[in-house]
Amino acid sequence: MKASESEVAYAKINLALHVRSREPDGYHRIETLFAFAEEGDLLTAELAEALTLGITGPYAGILSGEPNNLVIRAAIALREAFSVGEGAAIRLDKRLPVASGIGGGSADAAAALRLLTRLWRLPTDDPRIQSIARELGADVPACLVSRPVRGTGRGDVLEPLDDAKLAGMPLLLINPGVPVATGAVFRGWDGRDRGGLDAGDPLQVARAARNDLESPAIRIAPEIGEALALLARADGVTLTRMSGSGATCFALFESMAARDAADLLVMRARPGWWRLKTALRGHDPVP
């Protein structure tokens, strides 16, 4: 038995995001293509009598004193669902910007579920884990699998994607350092249904698609428009888009060299912006 475990909370990317309608309960019906970076926040945990959470990393200060952290909520829900008698000392190394459209708390909560499932020796295929993920938030089920999936409904009805052309694609994430509230961006959507996602090869579908939240997000944070324009100037770009409700934007590239050149371009133009050079994860099994 391992007394400690670690797990990456992989950064979530919306290759496309079509908003189809606003539901009576206030949620929105969407169609999206989820993909995930190879990197993200890092969670570690070891067996303990109580459930505790310590947060470190460059973005820890933003979460300090947060009373209802999704990681602890996930841990409590998992322990109660399986009547676990043990606790866990959890540590979150917060490396990704907060409120930035790349998973954030959802990815951390999902990673906590994977992490504690192993630590507490629980069955990984138990449907209660997916139920907990769905209750925690619309993005948590996709973040739980952390591999390319198509999301419908609130984004929590998932269908695996053929990722043959996605796996390993060079990826650059940039964020201008402006937190954007998801609720405010969705409220800024104009209510117009511009149609759903096509079927077929995910990369081709994504390139023909859009993110319906880009325009309202840019109205809130014009820096997002600047970030998209900056990425579009780079050579070797396959796809450029805002992820989720922003403010993080991304670009996929034909080669690692093109990605690295774009990273240098952004660094020179906006040295204070957050950047992450990485690649897309493939459809490998989640332990």
Q: Output the furthest CA–CA distance in the chain (Å, rounded).
A: 55
Instruction: Look at residue 2 in the predicted model and tell me its pLDDT.
Output: 61
Instruction: Look at residue 287 in the predicted model and tell me its pLDDT.
Output: 36
Q: Give Cβ neighbours of residue 285 (< 8 Å, ≥ 6 apart).
A: none
Reference 125, options 112, 137, 114; nearest CA is 114
Distance CA 188, CA 226 (A): 19
Homologous superfamily (CATH) of 170-279 is GHMP kinase, C-terminal domain (3.30.70.890)
Strand-pair category, 237-242 with 157-160: unpaired
Q: Where are the domains of the chain?
A: 4-160, 170-279
Distance CA 287, CA 273 (A): 34
Q: What's at 243, amino acid-wise?
A: S
Instruction: Look at residue 63 in the predicted model and tell me its pLDDT.
Output: 79
Instruction: Look at residue 72 in the predicted model and tell me its pLDDT.
Output: 95
What are the catalytic residues?
Answer: 12, 139
pLDDT, one tens digit for every residue, the chain (287 residues): 467 899 999 999 999 999 999 988 888 999 999 999 999 999 999 999 999 999 999 998 877 766 679 999 999 999 999 999 999 999 999 999 988 999 989 999 999 999 999 999 999 999 999 999 999 999 999 999 999 999 999 999 999 999 888 999 999 999 999 989 999 999 999 999 999 999 999 999 999 999 999 999 999 999 999 999 999 999 999 999 999 999 999 999 999 999 999 999 999 999 999 999 999 998 654 43
Question: Cα 166 to the chain's mean position, in Å?
Answer: 16
Distance CA 38, CA 171 (A): 9
Distance CA 238, CA 279 (A): 13
User: What dotted CATH number matches 4-160?
Assistant: 3.30.230.10
- Token pair 């994607």: residue: 161
Reference 283, options 171, 159, 149; nearest CA is 149
Q: What is the DSSP letter of 189?
A: S
Instruction: Look at residue 67 in the predicted model and tell me its pLDDT.
Output: 66
Which helix (H) or strand (E) segment holds residue 202: the answer is helix 202-207
Distance CA 68, CA 285 (A): 30
- Are 225 and 218 in contact, with CB atoms under 8 Å apart? yes
Judged by DSSP in three states, 134 sits in: helix
SS3 content of the chain, % helix, strand, coil (to 5): 30, 30, 40
Task: Judge residue 246's burial from the number of C-beta atoms within 10 Å of its C-beta, 0-12 exposed, 13-18 middle, 19 or more buried.
Answer: buried
Distances (CA, A) of 7 to 74, 129, 154, 230, 232: 14, 16, 26, 33, 33
